[in-house]
Amino acid sequence: MFLKFLRLEIKSFFRGSSLGINMAMKIFRFIGILYFMGCLAGGAFAAFFYIRKEMNLDPLLIVSKFLIIAWAIDLILKYIWQEMPTQNIKPFLTLNIPKNTLVNYMLIKTFLSAFSWLNSLFFITFSIIAMFNGYSIIGVLAWFMGVSLLFYLNNFINILFNDKEVIAIVIGCVFAAVGALGYYNIIPVLSYSEKFFYLFYSKPYYIMIPAVLFFGLWRICFTYVRKEFYLDQGLEAKKTVGKTENIAFLNQYGVIGTFINNDIKMLRRNKVTKGILLGSFMFIFYGMLMYTSVVYKTPAMMMFMGLFVTGGFQFLFGQRVPAFDSSYYPLMMTLNVPYKEYLKAKWWLMNIVTGVSMIVAAFYAYFGWEIYVTFLVAGLYNIGVNSQFTLWSGAFNKTQIDLNSKEKRFGQKNSFNLKALLLLIPKMLLPMAVFAGAKYLFGMTAGVVSVAALGLIGFIFREKIFDIIVKHYKSEKYSTIDAFKNKG
């Protein structure tokens, strides 16, 4: 039965109406997965030999020490991005197929996700290196199995608490508290991690603990999913009571104010948009990466970080216009909606948040005024240029968005468009190249002035650029409506 399901998945892929786009996205995903596979395998080599030769320490002990952090990050990433594959299962519920088989297939399918098995590549490579360098084969195999089973437990934890946001927030606060206690050496969290994970190597029979937990949680998840496994119960769309809100003062700004009012209410009410707000806030701290790598301290990469620090909301929100309105976009297009005012409302909202981000990012001045000035001028470029190009790229994004469910799938078929990729050149590569070139040739002041000038030029000619953007939105109008109507 499981082989039949896999054959149906393959047929679904090759018989789809967007085979070419699907194939292109699969190729890009495959390249990305190969990249991360190389990084993880290379990281295992680097970790083992650096710890052993340069630090003169036991690599297995040191890796075990930090596994608790890796485990927590793995759980967080799975909660944010991994979802149960329920949509492909729904058609089978009307057929004479045992529900137990379908539930087990769903649980197994979660392990096929790259989020589940990619980290295993690090552990496999590290374990092989350890066995060839004098470590006990039985001990290393037990360590590998114990660690892998504990990481796979995150799949089940994610299933049990996926839609329970209050519990997720509580767990997140617990992680933060434990991290703070460990950071300030109040509780030796890393020492406990080292002792616990190293037990799998020194005393192999301890792998019974994660094995029992794994099969126990499998049974609990099976029972939990099986109980809700009905079209009119656990798998139906969640419905909530609507609330009427109004931000009155925005209405004095006419049509643009009305559109901004609607967007703010949308951002406050829905799961996906709340995730956008959280992600935008987290992007403000993206600049901290400059302390993890020398590469990030180069002028081009400093500008790259500045664009994300100040423009996180812009990139996350703007490139999904009009996808956020996909549920009622066909209806909206039958009305006399002024396209330019509709887009200008999004533009003003993005730039207001960008301006706030520029102010909040002022704490980077503590690390050096050059850093903050770079981020500040990146914000000006975001306001003058990127805000418009981001809206432009949204015209080619025809991915439907369900605002009431978490958006966890990357690379959906309608989100891929060569034109949208080409717009990355003026959005990212141009300011990076101008800033790096001007700073190298004429100094910091020239780099800042050059990028600021580009932002100012874009702001001055915004009306002309908006006319071009509106023209493209209109040319993509009917294909966008068709994509939003086509739920398949």
* Banded model confidence at residue 2, pLDDT cuts 50, 70, 90: low
End-to-end Cα, the chain, rounded Å? 24
More confident of the two residues 340 and 355: 355
**466 shares a domain with 394:** yes
User: Beta-carbon neighbour count of residue 168 at 10 Å?
Assistant: 16
**252 shares a domain with 152:** no
**268 shares a domain with 184:** no
Calculate mean pLDDT across residues 465-472: 87
Helix H or strand E encompassing 17: none
What contacts 299, CB < 8 A, 6 or more positions away? 374, 435, 436, 439, 440, 447
* Banded model confidence at residue 412, pLDDT cuts 50, 70, 90: very low
Query: Is the alpha carbon torsion for 469, 471, 474, 476 positive or negative?
Result: negative
* Banded model confidence at residue 12, pLDDT cuts 50, 70, 90: low
For 58-82, letters b (16+ CB in 10 Å) and e give ebbebbbbebbebbbebbbebbbeb
What contacts 219, CB < 8 A, 6 or more positions away? none
Calculate mean pLDDT across residues 159-165: 78
Q: Which phi and psi (to 5°) does residue 292 adopt?
A: -105, -15
Residues 169-213 have pLDDT tens digits of 788 888 888 888 888 888 899 999 999 999 999 999 999 999 999
The answer to whether residue 238 is domain-embedded is: no
Which residues form the domain of 99?
Answer: 2-227
**259 shares a domain with 200:** no
**276 shares a domain with 170:** no
Residues 96-148 have pLDDT tens digits of 778 888 888 888 888 877 778 888 889 999 999 999 998 999 999 999 999 99
**How far is Cα 183 from Cα 123, in angstroms, rounded to an integer?**
25
**How far is Cα 64 from Cα 248, in angstroms, rounded to an integer?**
56
Alpha carbons within 13 angstroms on the beta-carbon side of residue 185 total 0
Calculate mean pLDDT across residues 399-420: 53
Query: For the chain, what is the domain count?
Result: 2
**141 shares a domain with 27:** yes
pTM score: 0.59
Q: CA nearest 167: which of 153, 180, 182, 157?
A: 157
Task: Supply the pLDDT for residue 380.
Answer: 93
The answer to whether residue 240 is domain-embedded is: no
For 24-45, letters b (16+ CB in 10 Å) and e give bbeeeeeeeeeeeeeebbeebe
**71 shares a domain with 173:** yes
Q: Which phi and psi (to 5°) does residue 395 adopt?
A: -65, -25
Q: Where would I find the H helices in 232-333?
A: 254-269, 271-283, 299-318, 329-333
Q: What is the average pLDDT value for the chain, to the nearest integer?
A: 80
Structure tokens at 296: 């990030």
Tracing tokens 């630090």 back to the chain, one arrives at 55
Supply the Cα-derived Rg of the chain in whole angstroms. 25
Structure tokens at 170: 């509580």
Domain finish residue from 196, 227, 258: 227
**How far is Cα 395 from Cα 316, in angstroms, rounded to an integer?**
14
